Amino acid sequence: MITLRATVAIPPDTITMPDFLLLALLAGIAVALVAGPLGSFAVWRRMAYFGDTLAHSALLGVTFGLLLDLNLNLAIALGCLLLALILVALQHNRFLATDTLLGILSHSTLALGLVCVSAFSESRIDLLAYLFGDILSVSRGDVISIWMISLAVLGALIWLWRPLLAITVHEELAQVEGVPVTRVRTALMLLMALVIAIAMKVVGVLLITALLIIPAAASRRLSRTPEQMAVIASLLGITAVLAGLGASYLWDSPAGPAIVLSATSLFGLTLLKKQQV
Partner 1 sequence: MSEFLIRARALSVTRNGRQILRKADLDIAPGKIVTLIGPNGAGKTTLVRAVLGLIQVSEGSLEKAPGLRIGYMPQKLHIDASLPLTVGRFLALGGPPRVNLSEILQLTGIDKLVDMPIQSLSGGETQRVLLARALLRDPQLLVLDEPVQGVDVAGQSALYALINEIRNQRQCGVLLVSHDLHLVMATTDTVICLNQHVCCHGHPEQVTNDPAYLALFGDAVGALVAPQVAIYTHHHDHQHDAHGNVITLKGAHDHTAGNCGDSSGHDHHA
Alpha helices by DSSP H, listed for 45-139, are 48-67, 72-92, 98-119, 127-132
**Minimal distance in Å, beta carbon 73 to partner 1?**
32
Q: Which of residues 45-64 bind partner 1 (CB under 8 A)?
A: 45-46
219 touches 40 (CB < 8 A): yes
For partner 1, which stretch binds (CB under 8 A), given 7-15, 51-59, 97-105, 176-184?
176-184
Helix (H) or strand (E) holding 120: none
Residue 97 interacts with partner 1 (CB under 8 A): yes or no: no
What is the C-alpha to C-alpha distance for residues 36 and 201, in angstroms, rounded to an integer?
17
Q: Report how many residues bind partner 1 under the rule CB under 8 A.
A: 28
**Minimal distance in Å, beta carbon 159 to partner 1?**
16
Of 66 and 231, which has the nearer Cβ to partner 1?
231
Helix (H) or strand (E) holding 125: none
Residue 94 interacts with partner 1 (CB under 8 A): yes or no: no
70 touches 141 (CB < 8 A): no
123 — alpha (psi -120 to 50), left (phi > 0) or beta?
Answer: left
**Minimal distance in Å, beta carbon 7 to partner 1?**
56
Among 94, 107, 140, 170, binds partner 1 (CB under 8 A): 170
For partner 1, which stretch binds (CB under 8 A), given 59-67, 74-82, 164-172, 245-253?
164-172
Of 112 and 165, which has the nearer Cβ to partner 1?
165
Angle between helices 19-44 and 181-203 (to 10 degrees): 150
267 touches 74 (CB < 8 A): no
Q: Which of residues 212-251 bind partner 1 (CB under 8 A)?
A: 216-217, 220, 223-226, 228-229
Q: How far is C-alpha 235 from the chain's CA centre?
A: 15
Q: Counting every residue, how long is the chain? A: 277
Of 200 and 217, which has the nearer Cβ to partner 1?
217
Q: Which residues bind partner 1 (CB under 8 A)?
A: 43-46, 162, 165-166, 168-170, 172-178, 216-217, 220, 223-226, 228-229, 276-277
